[in-house]
Amino acid sequence: MSDDDVDHELQALLRAHFGLGPGDPNAPPETKVLENAEHIYNNSYDVALDMRHTKLAALEIHKQMQEREYSTKTWSEHELHPKAKDANTVNFIFTMDLLNFSFWSEKAEEERFAVSYKEKRWTGYWSLVAALQRALDEDIPITSPEFWVNEEECSEEKLKHVFRSETDEEIPMFEERVKCLREAGQIIEEEFDSSVTTLIEDAKHSAAGLVNLLAERFPCFRDEAKFEGKKVRLLKRAQIFVADLWAAFEGEGYGDFNDIDKITMFADYRVPQILHSLGCISYCPSLEHRIRRFELLESGKSWELQIRGCSIWAIELLRREIVKIQPDAKVNAILIDFFLYDLAKERELAGDNDDIPHHRTRSIWY
């Protein structure tokens, strides 16, 4: 071979090593969320993680999860979550996670958006679940993609009725929720034979594959941004859809995924709040001051991305510490996220005023 000849095999190996050119079509799907979260963590200068507190928190979290026998069954045990293991539950979960964003309010608890259902008052995430259940009880097919694209039957007036509040505050970002329903309904109709189950089947039992499919085909699930010159994927709602399927179906049927542990925590505002109270995460003075003053952080900007990315990495470090404590522990980022979210809500209901407020960001991503 002369000096001018090209060694195509060596060239292909080098391009593959440095991530250039097309990837291996037979390689298992990867969401890149954890990899991108590590990039954010490594380049964060306003948000930091504390390994000593992370180790201590891992001990306590592991202990409490064992005491409560925390597992996928915990998801279905909540009175509002669907119990059936069928296509109707798939549609319910898809609708729920399509609209699962931005429920925080600056109003007092008694004045904020709330849904009355079965003689109880529901706020936050649970207000959405209650509204969907209430609509189905009223024979409104709110979980049907075919309904969403029928603007005559699924009018804005009908949707305002579905999401009606018992207070004067309406559901936040109502117009954005309508847009998500219309857009997703059209895509499911055109690309997946009007069936959410077809969408799931196309992922071939891969959790990462389903997350990527959602991000690729549905703009309203494409939770991405740029941080320090690199595109980063956070994909909160796409990942939580997969996690909710896995939990609702207890890893079987529509919830059967062969790579479920590739799903990270769901980067929102409640888990960073509890991570801060546990001492796992800390903020620079100017950022902490802004959060404590309830000032908005703009979606996709550095501070907000540092909080979200470092939270994903913090949960991964907690998971690793728990596995060190008990190598055969059946724990992943999903269960830790679910547990910490429930813990945050418990502390809120108990009136624990020592916690930092959650950061304020208005967006469809969480």
Decide if 211 is inside a domain.
no
Percent with pLDDT over 90 in the chain? 86
Report yes or no on 214 lying in a domain.
no
Q: Which two tokens stand for residue 76?
A: 């279905």
> Could you give the number of structural domains in the chain?
1
Is 87 domain-assigned?
Answer: no
Q: Model confidence at 349, in pLDDT bands (50, 70, 90)?
A: confident
Residue 111 forms part of a structural domain: no
Which region among 20-34, 99-113, 146-160, 255-269 has the lowest average model confidence (pLDDT)?
20-34
Closest CA to 281 of 316, 303, 307: 307
Q: What is the pLDDT of residue 165?
A: 98
In order of 83, 96, 100, 285, 358, the CA distances from 93 in angstroms are: 11, 5, 10, 39, 25
pLDDT at 166: 97
Q: Look at residue 137 and tell me whether its pLDDT is greater than 90.
A: yes
The Cα–Cα gap between 340 and 334 comes to 10
Q: Which domain holds residue 60?
A: 31-78+221-365
- Residue 261 backbone phi and psi in degrees, to 5: -75, -5
pLDDT category, 23, cuts 50, 70, 90? low
Residue 14, pLDDT > 90, answer: no
What pLDDT is stored for residue 26 in this prediction?
A: 77
What are the pLDDT digits (tens) for 38-83? 999 999 999 999 999 999 999 999 999 999 989 888 999 999 999 9
Q: Once rounded to an integer, what is the mean pLDDT over residues 268-272?
A: 94
What value does the mean pLDDT of the chain take?
93
Look at residue 228 and tell me if it is in a domain: yes
The whole-number average pLDDT for the span 144-148 is 98
pLDDT at 8 over 80: no
Give the active site residue among 193, 268, 328, 342. Answer: 268
CB neighbourhood size of 259 (10 A)? 17
User: Count of alpha carbons within 13 Å of 41, Cβ hemisphere only?
Assistant: 20
Residue 351 has a pLDDT of 76
The predicted pLDDT at position 22 comes to 57
Residue 321 located in a structural domain: yes
Query: Which percentage of the chain shows pLDDT scores above 70?
Result: 93
For residues 294-314, give the mean pLDDT. 98
At residue 55, the pLDDT reads 97
Examine the residue annotation and report whether 355 is marked as an active-site residue of this protein: no
Residue of 251, 226, 285 lying closest to 43 (CA atoms):
226
pLDDT tens, residue by residue, 245-264: 999 999 999 999 999 999 99
Q: How far apart are CA 327 and CA 320, in angstroms?
A: 9
Q: Would you say residue 254 lies in a domain?
A: yes
Q: What are phi and psi of 308, to 5 degrees?
A: -70, -45
Which pLDDT does position 309 carry in this prediction? 98
Instruction: Give the pLDDT score at 350.
Output: 80
At residue 116, the pLDDT reads 98
CA–CA distance from 345 to each of 123, 129, 148, 177, 248 (Å)? Answer: 11, 16, 31, 24, 20
Residue 17 has pLDDT above 80, yes or no: no
Mean pLDDT of 221-233: 97
Cα-Cα end-to-end distance for the chain: 57
- Considering the domain boundaries, does residue 169 fall inside one? no
Q: Is 293 exposed, middle or buried (0-12, 13-18, 19+ CB in 10 A)?
A: exposed
